[in-house]
Amino acid sequence: MTAGRVAVAGVLLLVGPGSASPAAPSAAAPAGASSAAAAPSIEVELLARLAPRRIELEGGGRRRSVAAAGDGLRLDGAPAGAVLSLPARTWRIVPGGGPAARPRTYRAALRIRAERGVLRVRATLALEDYVAGVVASEALPGTPREALRALAVVARSYALAAPPRHPEGARCDLAHCQLLRGGGADRAHEAAARAAARATAGEVLRLPGGAVAAAPFHAACGGHTADPRQAFGGAGTGAAAVADPGCPPARWRAALDPAALAAAVRAALAVSDPAGAAAVPARLGAADLAVRAGAGGWVTQVGGAGGGWALGGDAFARAADASAGRGVVRSSRFRLAGGAGPPVLEGAGHGHGVGLCQAGAARRARAGEGYRGILRAYFPAAAVGRLPDGSPAGRSADAGARRALPPGGAHR
């Protein structure tokens, strides 16, 4: 199909196989809308978990339907080429188009294409719009101002320093990268998140030597954060294992099915260690597991009691959680119980445990601590600095240090 033109929400768009990346903001963009061309920007694949076949798209006072048809698009039921490139403005997206689907608002340029009947929606957001969206998505409503500001600095640092984890240089909108739910769910909370991003605009955590730290965060450490080197074998975060008595224990308990756990462990090993996967028995009882813990009680490795296979603590926690139905094994800070029976994990905390503890940061903020003091507590090997003019990202952590960086988001 040859490229053509089509109007969406009053904006003339280029459509077709040769469509360019999202265009610069048009005159129709609202006042204050950010320009991806004039400021640092972040590319995010939206609706990553939903994989919608159709969306309703609102902007400029008009609502249109965009649907996938194989590897092509249909706009309000009519063929619309292979790509829609929409300029930067405020867009409201309703996945699936149904009344039960939650609308999501983004201030971004959009590039929409179809792939085997599924819509792929890529947003290009100005850095500070992205930071505000991450803070609103990852923090709980009612989080104190200084804790939100600390999270904004951490989210900005991670976005600039951690390499994209997906093809073509994009991030997803899940906690695998950093959570970005889109606006519209809680306007007061979203306004507080935007204020935190504005108050810290351009501030990042820097390592000795000036590199931007790939600074992660998590929901709750349960009283002690994890050592980034023990947890992930990598450096470049600026974080360290620190006691955090202000964080509530966030205790949890998970009884695991031996057969389901064995299957999940084999799946986790299948690509990285096929021989290890083959060594996992059909059932894994408590007596079949050997657990090694590091600083603060965070598990660094789980393997077979007689050898043959091993997983890092966070990888095992993910596998165990998958075997239990997700949301049950909340962290890799646990002890193994169960004796001669099925495994029972008794744990504390929520998330990977590295870097900023959101629950602890909120307690510190309520006690009167400022965001810079909060950051010093969790990132003793980094300092707050500003992005230099003309080089928004400055220098990021070197490639060797970034190979094993943790997920940026709170919930694993």
Confidence of residue 326 (pLDDT cuts 50, 70, 90): confident
pLDDT over 60 (residue 50): yes
Percent of the chain with pLDDT over 90: 75
pLDDT over 90 (residue 166): no
Least confident of 31-45, 92-106, 216-230, 297-311: 31-45
Which residues have CB under 8 Å from 82's CB, separation 6+? Answer: 1, 15, 16, 17, 19, 71, 72, 73, 113, 114
- Model pTM? 0.86
349 is written with which tokens? 């905390």
Average pLDDT estimate for 362-371: 98
pLDDT over 70 (residue 253): yes
Confidence of residue 167 (pLDDT cuts 50, 70, 90): confident
Distance, in Å, from the CA atom of 83 to the CA atom of 171, rounded to the nearest integer, reads 19
Distance, in Å, from the CA atom of 182 to the CA atom of 120, rounded to the nearest integer, reads 16
pLDDT score recorded for residue 3: 43
Q: pLDDT averaged over the chain? A: 87
Confidence of residue 82 (pLDDT cuts 50, 70, 90): very high
Confidence of residue 278 (pLDDT cuts 50, 70, 90): very high
Distance, in Å, from the CA atom of 315 to the CA atom of 318, rounded to the nearest integer, reads 5
The alpha carbon dihedral of 141, 144, 147, 148 has a sign of positive
pLDDT over 50 (residue 411): no
pLDDT score recorded for residue 127: 97
The secondary structure element, H or E, covering residue 112 is: strand 104-115
H helix runs in 286-348, sequence order: 313-324
Quick: pLDDT tens for 119-129.
999 999 999 99
pLDDT over 50 (residue 23): no
Do 257 and 369 touch, CB atoms closer than 8 A? no
Domain boundary assignment for the chain: 4-127, 139-248+353-402, 251-348
| 367 compared with 399, residue with greater pLDDT | 367
Q: Which of 179, 363, 154, 159 is nearest to 238 (CA)?
A: 154
Average pLDDT estimate for 261-289: 97
Confidence of residue 378 (pLDDT cuts 50, 70, 90): very high
Q: Position of tokens 């905390």? A: 349
Average pLDDT estimate for 314-322: 96
